[in-house]
Amino acid sequence: MNNLNRRKFIKGTVASSAVLAAAAAGLLTPVSAMAASWPKKAFSSKKVDLVLKSLYGSDQVIESKDVKIRAPIQAENGSVVPFSIKTTIPDPEAITIMVTANSMPLTANIKLPSAGGYFSARIKMAKTSDVQVVVQSGGKLYSSKAKIKVTVGGCGG
C-alpha cells in the first residue's frame, strides 16, 4: 500500500512540473517577442569589446577628438550622473554609451536616422570609472573616453 502511494506521488510531481515548464515557456515568449528590437545580448554583455561586437560586428575603434563628452570630473551621487555627448563628425548614425566598470557596461545605444550628433541623459555608475562613447559614421567607429570619479555608487546596494 505504502509503495503504491509513493508511485502516485512521483507520477503527480512529474506531471505538475511538466505543466509548470510549459507555462513558463508560454509566459516567456511574448516578452521576448515584444522586445525584439531591443538588443538584449549587447545589454547583457559584460565587456566593452563584446558589446561593440554584438552591436556593430567589430570592436575596432578610432580615438577621435570630435567626440566630446561633457560630464562632471567628480560625481557625488553615482545614481544620478549628468552626462552629455556631442560630436562634430558628419552624418552620425549611432551613439553608444558605456560605463566600463558597471557590471553591464552598455548604458544606452541611440540610433540617429535624422537627429543631430548629440545626446544627454543622467546615468548610474557603480564606482569611479571611464565612460566610453562610440559614434558610428560611414561604417567606422569613433571613440572617446572620460573618467568620472564617483563618491557613492549608484547600482545595487
Residue whose C-alpha is closest to residue 133's, from 37, 52, 58, 40? 52
Cell numbers standing for residue 132: 566610453
- Taking CB under 8 A as the criterion, the residue among 122, 138, 147, 152 binding another protein is 122
Q: Which residues pair with 100 in a beta bridge?
A: none
18 Cβ contact list (under 8 Å, min separation 6): none
Pick 2 or 153: Cβ nearer another protein = 153
Residue whose C-alpha is closest to residue 155's, from 129, 133, 121? 129
- Smallest gap from Cβ 15 to another protein, in A, equals 29
If binding means CB under 8 A, how many residues of this protein chain bind another protein? 40
Pick 17 or 74: Cβ nearer another protein = 74
Question: Is residue 54 near another protein by the rule CB under 8 A?
Answer: no
* Rounded CA separation 126/84 (Å): 18
CB 149 within 8 A of CB 75: yes
- Taking CB under 8 A as the criterion, the residue among 53, 66, 68, 79 binding another protein is 79
- Smallest gap from Cβ 78 to another protein, in A, equals 10
* Rounded CA separation 138/140 (Å): 6
* Rounded CA separation 135/66 (Å): 10
- Smallest gap from Cβ 22 to another protein, in A, equals 21
State which of positions 87-116 bind another protein (CB under 8 A).
99, 102-104, 106-116
- Smallest gap from Cβ 43 to another protein, in A, equals 5
Please give the residue ranges that form the binding site for another protein (CB under 8 A): 31, 34-35, 37-39, 43, 79-81, 84, 86, 99, 102-104, 106-125, 154-157
